[in-house]
Structure 1
Amino acid sequence: MTSPGSTTGPTRREHDLLGDRDVPADAYYGVQTLRAQENFHITGVPLHHFPRMIEALAQVKRAAARANHRLGALDDERAAAIEQACEEIVGGALHEHFVVDMIQGGAGTSTNMNANEVIANRALEILGHEKGQYDQLHPNNHVNLGQSTNDVYPTAVRLTIMLSFPALAEAMDQLITTLRSKGEEFSSVLKMGRTQMQDAVPMTVGQEFHGWATTIEEDVQRLTRTATLFQEINLGATAIGTGITSDPRYAQMATSDLAELTGIPFVVSADLVEATSDTGAFVTFSGILKRIAVKISKICNDLRLLSSGPRAGFHEINLPSVQPGSSIMPGKVNPVIPEVVNQVAYEVIGNDLTVTFAAEGGQLQLNAFEPVIAFNILESTRIMTRAMNTLADRCIAGITLNEDVLEDYLRRSIGIVTALVPVLGYSASTEVAEEALRTGRPVAELVLERELLDEKRLAGLLSPASMTAPHRTTVTGTIPAIEDPEATRPDSGEMALPPTERADF
C-alpha cells in the first residue's frame, strides 16, 4: 500500500481548492484524501481498521445514489456505476484505499471525501474511464450529490455501530453461557461468602458463578435497546439540518433506501437541525459500554482474588495455566487473562470519558468532534468483544475448584454461626463466635460442647439447603417454605416498582 503522502512511482495530477497535487496513479483515493493523510498522523489507525465503517459509508452512498436517480438528479449510467462501486466496497473490495486517520479535524470531512473519491474512481473505471477523470464523474458533484459530511458522517457512524454491536452481544451471551455452565457444575459445593473482605455467610460456588452470569445478562438487553437510538438519522439534513442543496423528497427517500439496503428500520429525525448537532445517543451507548466494562472488571478482580496464592492466598479456585508467569521466579503462573480484561475495561472507561467531553464540546449547529466519538465507541466495542471471548474461552471454561480449601475455610469460619441466630438468638450466637475466634475451634464443636443443640438439629441448621437459601426456623424446627408467597400479602396484585427500580430498560 502507498505510504501517507508518498508520490514515489507513477502519479496523476489532481486539483482541489488549494491547488494541484500529484496522487499515486494506482490509488483510488484522490487529492483531498492525500492532504488528510499528510495532515492527520494521529492514531496510526486508518479507516480500514474498522471494515464495518467502510461498509457503512458505502451503503450510505449507495442509498443516496438510488434516491438521486429516482429523483432525476443522477443519470442512469452514473447511478449504476456508483451503485456497483458501492456494492463492491460493501463486499470487501478497495478497503485498503480508505486511509485517513480515524481521528481528524473537519468533523469527518476527510472520511467523507475519502469515500467519495474511492467510489468515484472505481465508478469511472466501470464506465471505461481513467482514475481522476472527474469531468466524467465527480466525487462531489455526483457521489456526494445532495449530501454533506454533516449528514453522511453521523449516519455512517450510527450504521457502523448497528453493524458492530451484535458481535459484542454474542460474545456476552457466550460468556454468560460459560458462567452458567460452571455455576451448574459447582452448584453443590459450599464456600464462605464474604463482605468487606471478611467472612460473611455460606453460599455455593454455583451461586457465585450464577451471580456473575446474571450481572452480564442484564446488560445484553440494555445494549440492544440502547442501540435502537441509532435508528433515527439525519440523512438529508446536509450542512446544518435545513436540507440546503437537496431535493425536498430526498431525506425520506434516501433513508428508506438505506433501511432497505441494510435491513435496519432507519427513520428520518423529526428535527434535522437538532439531529445534526445532537450526540446524545453516542453518550448513552458509550455509557452502557462503560457499565459493562465496570461489571466485567469487578468479576475479574474476584477471579484474581479467589485464585490468589497458591500457598499464601485464597486458593479457592484454579484458573487455567496459559503461560509461565515470571522470568525469574520458577513455577509462578499469573492470572493473565483476568489481568488483560481488567486493562480492557480501564480503556473502555477512559474512552467513555473522551466521548462525554467530545459530546459536551460541540458548538452551535454541529459537533466537530464526532470523529473522536466514533473512534472511541468503535474501539471500545471491538476490544470488549475480544475481551469477552478471551475471558470465556481461555479462563472461565477451564476453572477448577480446590474443594479441600473451601471445606476447611467453611469449617473454621465463624460465619456459619449466622445460621444459628434464629434458634439460639443473637447474644448466645455472639458468645459462640467470640470463643471460636479466641480459640480457633470450630463453631459446631462449641455449640455441641455447650449443649445448645443436639447433633441432629445442628446438622439440619448447618445443612447446605439451610445455609444457602431462605427458610424459617424456630426452636421447635424448620417451617417449610410457603409455596405461594403472594398468598400471604394483603394485596396479591402486581407490586409496583418506583420508576428507578423498573426493569424494562
Structure 2
Amino acid sequence: MENTRKESDLLGELNVPKEAYYGVQTQRAINNFKISGQLLSSYSDFIIGLAYVKKAAAKTNYQLGLLDEELYRNIVKVCDEIVDGKLHDQFPIDMIQGGAGTSVNMNANEVIANRVLELMGHEKGDYQYCSPNDIVNLSQSTNDAYPTSIKVALIIMNQRLVKKLENIIKAFRAKGKEFHDVIKMGRTQLQDAVPMTLGQEFEAFAATLEEDISKLNANANLFLEINMGATAIGTGINSPVGYPKMCAKNLAQITGFPFISAPNLVEATPDTGSYVIYSSATKRLAVKLSKICNDLRLLSSGPRAGLFEINLPPMQPGSSIMPGKVNPVIPEVVNQVCFKVIGNDLTVTFAAEAGQLQLNVMEPVLCHSIMENINFLGNALDTLRERCINGITANKDICYEMVKNSIGIVTALNPYIGYKNSTKIAKEALATGKSVYDLVLEYNILSQKRLDEILDPKHMLNPEDLVS
C-alpha cells in the first residue's frame, strides 16, 4: 500500500499506483476491461490525437476567458510532451471497453492533470489545483472530445498508410519495367487466353493499387468535420457561445489539418458515417491486395508441377517433412491480413448500425477495428514490398515456351481466318497435340509468311491495324 495513493470518484475510493499519472477512473477501466489485450498505449497516434484535442480545447477556453494563464500554459506544455512521445505508457486501458470512450477521455484528462500538478509543484491526485474534469475537460464531453481525437488519429494514420502504399506501387512499377520484354500467356478462368508480357501484369498490379490512394484520401477527408463543443448530445450544454467554431479553428492551426465544425452538432454527435466509408476503403484495398497475392502464389507455383513463371525470394524452409520445399509465406501472410481487414470492416458496419438516439456507444470497437486495419495493412504492405516484390525474378524461357505451345494464340487468327476456322484449328490442336502453326499451314489457310507475321507474339501485345 506504500506504493499507492487513494483517489475517489462517484463510486468511492480506489488505490492507484503512487507514481502513475493516471487516476481513479483509469484504474477502474484497467480493472473492468481485460478484453483484447491491445492497450491504448499501443496506438500512439490515438494518444497524440487526444493531446491535440485537449490542447485546442485549453486554448479555446483561455481565449474565452474561462481558463487562467498558468493552467493554460502548463496544459499546453503537457500536451506538447505527449505529442513528442512522452507519457504514452500512462495510457494502459484496453482499446475495447464499455462507456462510449469515457475511460479514454478520462485517462487523457487524468494524465494531463497530474503532470500539470507536478509542474506546478503539487502532489499527484491533488486535484483542487488542477481537476481532470473541471479544468482539463472544461467545455467538453467524452462525446465530442473522444470522436474528435479518433478523427485526428485516423487522418495521421491514413497519411502513413498512403505513403506505404505509394512505396509498394513504385516497387511493382519497377518490376513492370524490369519484365517489359518477358512474353507470357495471359489467362482467364485459369485457362490460356492470349499473350502479354510479365511487365504488363506487374504494371497492372501497380495501377490497381494506385487507384486506392485517392479513395483513402478522399474518405479520410470526411474526418475533418468535427463536433467539438457539442458536449453531451450536440446541444452544447456547458459549452460557451462560439466555442465549436473557435475550437475547430484552433485544432486546425495546431495540427495543420483543415478541421471545421459540423453544421449540425446534434446530427454529428451520434453519426459514424465517416468511419463506415473510410473502413470500406481499407476493405477495398485489402480485397485488391489479396487478389495480387493470390496471383503471385499461382505464378510462382511449382517448381516442376506448377506455372513457375516467377520466383519469389525464399524466406524460410517450407516443410518439416518435405526436403527442399519453399513456400510463398509472404503472400500467404498478407492474404491473412486482408481477411482480417475484411472482417474488421463488418465489425465497423455492425458497430455503426448499433447507434441509438443521440449517441453511438460502440465507438471503441469501431475505432479499434479501423486503427487495427490501418496498422495491419501498413505492416503488410511493407513486408510484401521488402521481402517479396523487390526480390522477384522471372523465368523468361518457361514463360515463352508456354506461349509457343499454347492453343490460346489461335485467338490472334480470328480476325484473319474467322471464328469457325479458328475453332476448328483449336479443337484439332487439342485433340492431336499438333501446334496451331502447323495446322494452319497444313490446311493452307494462310501463307507461312503471313502466319509468321500474325503469330509473332510481339504483335499480339497491343491493338493491331487490322485494315492494312
Task: Give me the TM-score of the superposition, normalised by structure 1.
Answer: 0.91
Task: Look up the match of 2:363.
Answer: 370
Gaps of 5+ in 2: none
Which sits farther off after the overlay, 340-349 or 194-203? 194-203
Does 2:449 correspond to 1:449?
A: no
Matched with 1:503 is: none
The counterpart of 1:92, out of the listed 72, 81, 85, is 85
Does residue 433 (structure 1) correspond to residue 418 (structure 2)? The answer is no
Among 225, 233, 236, the residue aligned to 2:229 = 236
Query: Which structure 2 residues correspond to residues 261-280 of structure 1 after superposition, within 5 A?
Result: 261-280=254-273
2:50 pairs with 1:57 = yes
Q: CA deviation at 1:466?
A: 2.2
The answer to whether the Cα contact below 8 Å between 1:9 and 1:24 also exists between their aligned partners in 2 is no
TM-superposed CA distance for 1:353, in Å, is 0.1
333-342 or 315-324, larger mean C-alpha shift: 315-324
1:387 aligned residue: 380
Does structure 2 conserve the Cα–Cα contact (< 8 Å) formed by 1:103 and 1:371? yes
The equivalent of 1:258 in structure 2 is 251
Counterpart CA distance in 2 for 1:71 and 1:166 is 33
Distance 1:390 1:441 in 2: 45
The answer on 1:312 being equivalent to 2:305 is: yes
Q: Distance in 2 between matches of 1:464 and 1:416?
A: 8
Q: Separation in 2 of the partners of 1:454 and 1:181?
A: 40
From 330, 337, 340, the equivalent of 2:330 is 337
Correspondence for 2:161 among 168, 178, 189: 168
Q: Deviations over 1:266-303 (max 9, x none)?
A: 00000000000000000000000000000000000011
Q: Please list, as runs of the form range in 1=range in 2, the aligned pairs for 1:17-28 lying within 5 A after superposition.
A: 17-28=10-21
Structure 1 residues 108-117 or 247-256, which shifts more? 247-256
**Contact in 2 for aligned 1:324/1:333 (Cα 8 Å):** yes
Is the contact made by 1:194 and 1:201 (CA closer than 8 Å) also made in structure 2? yes
Return the match for 2:41 from 35, 40, 48.
48
Three-state SS of the structure 2 residue aligned to 1:79 is: helix
- What CA deviation, in whole Å up to 9, does each residue of 1:447-466 have, x standing for no partner? 22222222221121122342
After TM superposition, list the pairs within 5 Å mapping 1:14-413 onto structure 2.
14-413=7-406
Matched to 2:76, the amino acid is E
> TM-score if structure 2 supplies the norm length?
0.99
- Comparing 357-366 with 404-413, greater Cα deviation is found at 404-413
Of 421, 424, 434 in structure 1, the residue corresponding to residue 414 of structure 2 is 421
Once the 2 structures are TM-superposed, how far is the Cα of residue 258 of structure 1 from its aligned partner?
0.6
Counterpart of 2:59, as a letter, is R
By how many angstroms is 1:337 displaced?
0.4
Cα offsets for 1:387-422 (capped at 9, x unmatched): 011111111111111122212211111100010111
Q: Secondary structure at 2:380's aligned position in 1?
A: helix
Cα distance between partner residues in 2 of 1:93 and 1:180 = 39
Contact (CA 8 Å) 1:412, 1:440: kept in 2 or not?
Answer: no
Alpha carbons 1:412, 1:441 under 8 Å: kept: no
AA aligned opposite 2:435: P
Q: Which residue of 2 aligns with 1:5?
A: none
CA distance in 2, matches of 1:55, 1:449: 75
- The letter for the 1-side match of 2:210 is E
Residue 471 of structure 1: how far off its partner (Å): 1.4
| Contact 1:419 1:466 survives alignment (8 Å) | no
Aligned residue number for residue 10 of structure 1: 3
Q: Distance in 2 between matches of 1:70 and 1:46?
A: 34
CA distance in structure 2 between the aligned counterparts of 1:14 and 1:430, rounded to whole angstroms:
85
SS of the counterpart of 1:74?
coil
For 1:312 and 1:465, the matched residues in 2 are separated by 27
2: CA distance, partners of 1:473 / 1:72: 79
Alignment size in residue pairs: 468
* CA–CA distance in structure 1, aligned partners of residues 21 and 449 of structure 2: 83
| C-alpha distance after superposition, 1:289-339 (max 9, x if no partner) | 000000000000011011111111111111110111111111000000000
**Cα displacement string for residues 33-80 of structure 1 (whole angstroms, at most 9, x for unaligned residues):** 000000000011111100000000011000101110111111111111
Q: Which amino acid aligns with 2:295?
A: D
Give the whole-Å Cα distance in 2 for the aligned partners of 1:234 and 1:273: 9
Distance apart, 1:360 and its partner CA: 0.2
Deviations 1:230-288 (A, max 9, x none): 00000110000000001011111111111000000000000000000000000000000
**Identity in percent:** 57
Residues of 2 paired with 1:167 and 1:80: CA distance? 31
Tell me the distance in 1 between the aligned counterparts of 2:150 and 2:19.
28
SS in 1 for 2:336: helix
Secondary structure, counterpart of 1:178 in structure 2: helix
Cα distance between partner residues in 2 of 1:364 and 1:383: 33
Superposition deviation, residue 9 in structure 1: 4.9
Secondary structure in 2 matching 1:12: strand
Name structure 1 gaps, 5 residues minimum.
Answer: 1-7, 480-505
SS in 1 for 2:124: coil
C-alpha distance in 1, partners of 2:457/2:256?
51
RMSD, aligned CA? 1.0
User: Cα offset for 1:125?
Assistant: 0.7
